[in-house]
Chains A and B, each alone.
Chain A
Amino acid sequence: MALSGSLREFALSEILQLLSSQRKTGSLRLNRGSETRVIYLLEGRIAAMRDRGFSEEDPLARFLRRVHRLSEEQMRGIASIHAESNRDFVDLLLNGRYIEREELAVLYERMVLDVLHEILSWDDGTYSFSNVSPPESALQVSLSTESMLMEAVRRMDELRRYQQKLSDPSLVLGLKELPDPDASLGEEEKELFGLVDGRHTLGELVQEAPFNDFEAYEALFRLIEAGWIEIQGRRAPEAVLAEAPSARVGLGATWRTEAALAGACVLLILLVQVLAWRTAPSPARSAPGENVYATMGLRDVRAALEAERARSGHYPPRLTTLVEQGWLEPSQLTPAGAALAYCNDPGDSSFALTFAPRGN
């Protein structure tokens, strides 16, 4: 069965839905000017989006270059091998160990979505469907056409929303906050986060990012929403990238700043000292007789005098004897800083021990 017509009459989504519901097998070719895209269906499911072989226009090759998965050098190497062996691009990628099979499957799916997203936006061009089986490939793909279509349409809607905020490619994006160590970031955000530096424009970031446009816009939008990056201005496309500001400071300014800092520190210390002094409780000015620790110290000396008498049979002539005899420590002879007055009775039957009047 052959099916052909203009995309103005039948939208691509409607054609794909029809082919999917009819579980058709064949190839759908789309042309717009010089651009050509092909979708191979196998029983209504997407089986391939490229022809066998290798060319510069191969959608997979373009996609891998776009997402920085293959370098130009690697591409040239693949092209030369292909020229010699005429082997399929996918076969070369896998056998040449450029990409592992699992990763290639994921990249292929992303490529399908990227191409669908692109061609769904075509509003003119032609299509033709023919009963041709999908080309044999080292990578078997079978994607639900409806799911792919729905995702592609969602991306179109979302991209419009993102571009309302990030409309101008000359916007300069800068860092607002380093990510919280506990915050989880998507792969796209992680990749893009390292590129945002307050010097590159939106267009440059999207171009530099290892993603397609939608993925790059989506990641940037999320980073802005999370408050980690922000729009810091606009840079004309022809402007030269400015150097990072240097931290050179003049000697005079340094001296003035350090003097101001030193002055502020000293002032602060003095201010706090004055405030602390004003709020400090007034020092104890009570007489030794009213001081708990002084009276307790007096009690200690009395006890020591009695103990010395009990041991030696007489009160000591001086209080320092109590220290010499090991009854007291020297500091105990001035309890709480108060001097003591000691008088031994000549008959050695009693003693007088009081606080010495102040000033003596």
Chain B
Amino acid sequence: MSAGLVTVLFVAVALVAVGAFVATWKRDLMAALAGLPLMFGGAGVAFAGAARFSAEGDPKIFGQEVAALVAVAALALVALGVGIAGRGTSR
């Protein structure tokens, strides 16, 4: 059993699509916000996969760096969205 770059990109694309689906399907803004980290996670997986399977001589750490930054950015944007959206009615 093995997994190559195409498999990694398939999973990354699926994560982005699921995130986009969550963002469009949910009527509640805060529920739709949950799709944002999924899309960012998909992008991060694509970066990490490209770094993992990159050709020799390329900076392999770069994709990991972007993946970590993307995760932090997702958390920040969710916090901002929760703060901005926190004016409705509690459920």
Q: Are A and B interaction partners?
A: no
The residues of B with any CB-CB pair to A shorter than 8 Å are: none
